[in-house]
Structure 1
Amino acid sequence: MDRTQRNLWTAFLGEAKANRLYTAFAMKALEEGHPEVAQVFLEAAAAETVHALSHLKALREVRSTLDNLRAVTEDEAYEVENMYPRFIAEAEADGRPEAAASFRLAWETEREHLRRFREALRYLERKTGERAAEVALPPLTAEITAVAEQEVSPRAQEVLTEKRRIASLARIREVIFGMQDGLVTAATVGPAVAGATATSSTVLVAGLAAVLGGTLSMAAGSFLGSRAERQVQEAELRREAMEIETNPEEELAELIEMYRLEGFPYEQARQIAERIASDKALLLKTMAEKELGLSPDALPEPTKDAMAMGASYIAGGMLPLVPYFFAAGPLAVAVSVLLAVLALFAMGAVKGRLVGRSALLSGAEVMAIGGTVAIAAYFLGRLAPV
């Protein structure tokens, strides 16, 4: 399930819940003699229904009538034969007679629904000469049932190590960006200034100023951007933690529904969710990953991002300036541009290997772009001599 699919299901559940809540609030308003308020609730409930149906359409969950009947028959059978009998027994054991009565009323109604759905399914299968598609359900494996165990197995440790490796790999973005920007900036400033003056010291002063200023600017920008991203993610995690603290039952129900959407029958989804919910930290981590798409173990690290950006920028920026320490004029410019172009090619090749592309093509692409910019800058400098 991709991120958008998960978001659609989350939105659908929210709209469906709001519809029932608003309807109940409207009935209470009528009971208390406030029909004008009840009208507002009912209008909002109708709108939520429209939204929920729109989300379902986008989810492509409304299939053929035969398949729809098969799916609801299986769900109703589970509710009648397993879910509600257990709910009734647990409510009575907890001393909640009003809940037991509510469950029993629903159970009796669901029994009638199941009978009618089964009749409709048999009728439609006879009429069409087809049978509804079977719904494949994944088994409840040992690995899944043990998800909330505190002991970290070797396989679990391997997963954690892999997560950390991927998180550190993401910092290559800062390295590639910083080094490429530093190379292009220095290779641009050097030829541009050299095109306007023949003094290598002037080129060095201008180049070093550009590189040092760029290093500070890029590092600060990376730090602020990464910090802002981390703060946004931490705010979302705090909000989710507050929801778990104030409405644990609702969060548990949401988690059960998420596992059902992944293909688990209700009983297995409930077992997994209840194991996870027994540990609030694990519940927060699971809800963050499944509902928000965030990983508490892989939040942005502003300081490391800034250091990676700054170090890569200054490393890339200093390389094209080296020839100006030993030569001047066209020779220094040629060697500077050559070093920058070769470095751009090497960096592009490394990037290509990392993303699974041809190292040669990726290197040539980056080299062509960087080389074109440096050459253009040189001739711009020649147009404005000082």
Structure 2
Amino acid sequence: MALPNASNSSNFNVVPNPACQPGDTLANLKSAVMGETGASAKYAAYSKKAAEEGFGQIASLFAAASKAEQIHIAMESNLVRKAEPDYVNPEAPEAEVHSTDVNLIDAALGEIFETSDMYPQFIKIAQEAGDTAAEMVFTRAKLAEAYHAQRYIDAYNTIDHLTDEKYYVCPGCGYIHKGKGVGSCPICGAPESKFLEF
């Protein structure tokens, strides 16, 4: 089965009335790095809060997601540096932390925005510019964010019935799998042996 991309998949359309105002591909890469930097820091803070509240599995999920966003940051900032070698990644803003259930909803909403608004627009602009490297990076991030949203909603719905299942992060694209039996990554094809356990 072919790996998903904007040409062979049906979930790359932009939502009506999008909130994201994209620029050219370089500006979009920088915007993505900024957004993912904030998300990674926020999820690290949410992980700490979940642990404090006794939600160990959710703490692991947030830690896994923080790592996944770091993978996106690396992919995107590497492309920025090809155009601007002196580019320095931005600092993360301080995260506003709430109760774990609210943090899960906040996180899910952020991921839904990225997968249905921001990244589909960035992908279209990269395609129009013929920038296949940026298209691939944005595509992998977009697809991973949809899985992140799903993991957050699942954790929200089962917050009082958690298990000891682990989360596994693909180092190639930031996809997060819950439980054993990952197989190869459904987004980038990375083998199970490369996944990081949380």
Shorter-chain TM band = 0.3 to 0.5
Question: Under a length normalisation based on structure 2, what TM-score does the superposition of the two structures give?
Answer: 0.36
Question: Under a length normalisation based on structure 1, what TM-score does the superposition of the two structures give?
Answer: 0.21
Q: Which has the higher helix share?
A: 1
Q: Which of the two has higher C-alpha Rg?
A: 1
Q: Which has the higher strand share?
A: 2
Higher relative contact order (CA 8 A, sep 6+): 2
